Structure 1
Amino acid sequence: MSVLPGLASALANGSVQVVDLTNRLSADTPTLRLPEPFANLIDFSLEEVSAYNEPGPFWKHHNIHTGEHIGTHLDAPVHWISGKDGHDVSTIPPARLVGPAVVIDVCDQVAENPDFLLDVSHLEAWEDEHGTLPDNGWLLLRTGWDRFADDKEACLNVDETGSHTPGLTAEAAEWLATQRPISGVGVETVGIDAGRGAELDPPFAAHYHLLGNDKYGLTSLQNLALLPPTGAVIVVAPLPIVGGTGSPARVFALVEKS
């Protein structure tokens, strides 16, 4: 059997499952909050235009209002100064948005320290066990943070010293951006940098290194616990916004049923 009919058959008979990695998008979806004097995006909202009434007797429809980087979303290179001459959302090659997914599970470390940062040594240890990160692949960082998908305060975890959420060291971000042929990195938090990412060198190093090297970021992922460390395929579907620095995205994983 050729590849695509085989995949269609596997999807139909359930031997390949589709796992939704996307958080639901509403006014209550947790989003990044920058401190003053920086400006924030608007949260998602719906504006009713008609609802089976005089403005539209047979239909219901809305206008949507949202920032680009709200909910589960993709970061394009032009989002960051280091990638300002790179792809916007509409010009990212579609083949870069579909590829092998690998999952690194650091839930235990994050349970002990919400400021945990994944370092190069963790990545090398993972590769020693599972093999080199795949070409065109997506590294997904499982931290357990998806349990806060409906809780803005817990998701941001802010105290008087700032936000405390896990992420990557500057060295790990640079290593992934320059030493491995991946397409991107996905996280369960609201941004691809840790809550204290401004303290890194360079500040917000995940954004700086990844987007500056034509890698992409995914945030607010869900259900990574349902994926194996290797073997899944990810499908990332952002809106092709011309000039867009990012976009809310629907993200799926294809997983073989064991």
Structure 2
Amino acid sequence: MSSETTNTVSHRTGGPLVGLLDALAGHDVEIVDLTNRLSHETPTLRLPEPFANLIDFSLETVSEYDEPGPFWKHQNIHTGEHIGTHIDAPIHWVTGRHSHDVADIPLPRLIGPAVVLDFTAEAAADPDFLLEVEHIQAWEEQHGPLPEGGWVLYRTGWDAFARDRERFLNADESGSHTPGASAACAQWLSRTGIAGFGVETVGIDAGKAGTLEPIFPMHYYLLGADKYGLTSLQNLAQLPPRGAMLIVAPLPIVGGTGSPARVLALVPRSS
């Protein structure tokens, strides 16, 4: 069999994935890592008293080429579910308590098209900026509809503070000041066909979401509608307004309400 025939058969049996693999091999598609690095220094959510907080991420050495393990090094991981770049499953919130845990998230929800809504200028002018329905509708007029079964990624420039816990949480005596979405916007998004909503901040809700009605409306409406949240995303500036494909890879924790996740975007390289 000639090499030409072999390549033809290979492409035929590979089906539609061949084009993607060829694009990756030919550097026509770029892989962008949207994940914040996970360590004991990673900024994490801090709830006010009397609410309890998750533990920060840490590693415990079990052996390190020594008597407990002479040829290897291995460690225990200590972490909360909602630490660093992570996914929120519906059962994280009371409105989604009878829906999916992390292990049961349908796989098509974890891979899909992504659009990026850029509101960095608004967030720079006002850290308490709230996304409204009219903002999204204006974006749709310019870029087209939100993707069915896809992800809406909310760019605010907040990833610039991801290595600085104090600036990332941006809290004072009145609470945290980070951008998010209004209650009306959260409810509107919950009625669309999107799979989920991703942000650069520590949570999918605004810092002042505890003062909204209902409190934490993104959690309340989105998770209650069997949609998903992604937090602490990085490098959204490297994605186009539309045209990227998102891959979300959480740990399949049985009963898990969330999980640290590796989040990658496949982006067509500009010619």
User: Deviation at 1:3?
Assistant: 1.7
TM-score (norm 1): 0.99
Secondary structure, counterpart of 2:242 in structure 1: coil
Q: 2:233 aligns with which of 221, 225, 241?
A: 221
Q: Counterparts of 1:22-41 in structure 2 under 5 Å?
A: 22-41=35-54
User: Is the counterpart of residue 247 in structure 1 residue 268 in structure 2?
Assistant: no
RMSD: 0.6
CA distance in structure 2 between the partners assigned to 1:191 and 1:216 by the alignment: 12
CA distance in structure 2 between the partners assigned to 1:252 and 1:49 by the alignment: 31
Amino acid at match of 2:199: V
Alignment correspondent of 1:13: 26
Amino acid at match of 1:29: T
User: Deviation at 1:76?
Assistant: 0.2
Larger gyration radius, structure 1 or structure 2 = 2
CA distance in structure 1 between the partners assigned to 2:62 and 2:23 by the alignment: 41
CA distance in structure 1 between the partners assigned to 2:150 and 2:107 by the alignment: 13
CA distance in structure 2 between the partners assigned to 1:253 and 1:175 by the alignment: 26
Superposed CA offset, 1:125-171 (max 9, x none): 00111111011110000000000111100000001111000000001
Amino acid at match of 1:41: L
CA distance in structure 1 between the partners assigned to 2:208 and 2:226 by the alignment: 23
Alignment correspondent of 1:71: 84
User: Deviation at 1:22?
Assistant: 0.1
CA distance in structure 2 between the partners assigned to 1:12 and 1:55 by the alignment: 42
Q: List, as ranges, runs of 4+ consecutive aligned residues in structure 1 with deviation greater than 2 Å.
A: none
Alignment correspondent of 2:249: 237
Alignment correspondent of 2:3: none
TM-score (norm 2): 0.94
Q: 2:64 aligns with which of 36, 43, 51?
A: 51
Q: Counterparts of 1:72-111 in structure 2 under 5 Å?
A: 72-111=85-124
CA distance in structure 2 between the partners assigned to 1:92 and 1:115 by the alignment: 31
Secondary structure, counterpart of 1:249 in structure 2: strand
Alignment correspondent of 2:199: 187
Structure 1 gap segments, 5+ residues each: none
Structure 2 gap segments, 5+ residues each: 1-10
Amino acid at match of 1:163: S
Alignment correspondent of 1:134: 147
CA distance in structure 2 between the partners assigned to 1:200 and 1:86 by the alignment: 24
Secondary structure, counterpart of 2:264 in structure 1: strand
Amino acid at match of 1:51: E
Superposed CA offset, 1:38-63 (max 9, x none): 00000000000001111101100100
Superposed CA offset, 1:225-253 (max 9, x none): 00000000000000000000000000000
User: How many aligned positions are there?
Assistant: 257
Q: 2:129 aligns with which of 109, 113, 116?
A: 116
Identity %: 67
Superposed CA offset, 1:204-230 (max 9, x none): 000000000000000000000000000
